[in-house]
Homo-oligomer: A and B are copies of this chain.
């Protein structure tokens, strides 16, 4: 009889040989430390999809949640905000991001592969896929965060009676007969065509950082790019390292 005679999932077993046959020094009872985006349920939306790994999937991750998002060309995550901060890394393609801070200062930038961006807690922001669309990774500083439960501007408008919106903006209620759904879009034009001049100016620190443009620290086993408040000062709640390891090399115990 083979060592695992019962029913098994051989493809998964092949992915993690050290979990199937752990080293003899393993004493057991570590919590699960890994969860694949492929084991999460996609959420399809007009303009793209998203899938998330939170403390609901990976209970040990109480202090961070990850979301993987795809935006089609012109697909838009409309203006929204959330309590957690948002640290992001562009995997493939490009996007245009905008934000406005609590003093009315605004921000707009285009993000390419290997760029990252960061929006502090509660700051309204939007993301829109550029001509080829994009796929990126978001990291939130709260393991119980859900991207499906954020608060969007169109949600806010939808829950106010039209006469209240009219009184608030000093315009006629008929202006609100056709609120945009916000979820679909066309590919935006050049950055200059969209920039808005705010009377309060622009944000004092950029929300974008070009991580791949950073010169790596090269070591015998590979290279590393570290991003923290020393080179990306606005990202106060998240630091990161992009580590490249040569095949067969080992990142030292730490």
A43 lies within 8 A of B28 (CB): yes
A25 with B158: in contact, given A30-B41, A164-B250 (CB under 8 Å)?
yes
Chain B residues with CB under 8 A of A22: 41-44
Stretch with Cβ within 8 A of B (4 or more), from A32-40, A190-198, A201-209: A32-40
A40 lies within 8 A of B36 (CB): no
A19 with B31: in contact, given A6-B70, A91-B6, A159-B25 (CB under 8 Å)?
no
A44 with B21: in contact, given A6-B68, A36-B12, A250-B164 (CB under 8 Å)?
yes
Chain B residues with CB under 8 A of A83: none
Asked whether A11 is an interface residue with its Cβ less than 8 Å from the other chain, the reply is yes
Chain B residues with CB under 8 A of A25: 158-161
Bound state CA distance, A27 and B146, in angstroms?
A: 14
Asked whether A23 is an interface residue with its Cβ less than 8 Å from the other chain, the reply is yes
Asked whether A213 is an interface residue with its Cβ less than 8 Å from the other chain, the reply is no
Asked whether A16 is an interface residue with its Cβ less than 8 Å from the other chain, the reply is yes
Bound state CA distance, A23 and B162, in angstroms?
A: 10
A56 lies within 8 A of B31 (CB): yes
1/0 per residue, CB under 8 A from B, across A52-85: the answer is 0001110100000000101000000000000000
Asked whether A180 is an interface residue with its Cβ less than 8 Å from the other chain, the reply is no
Given contacts A22-B42, A28-B41, A59-B59, 20 further A-B contacts (CB under 8 A): A5-B91, A6-B70, A6-B91, A6-B136, A8-B37, A9-B38, A12-B36, A15-B38, A19-B40, A19-B41, A19-B42, A21-B44, A24-B44, A26-B41, A28-B148, A29-B148, A30-B41, A39-B39, A56-B59, A57-B59
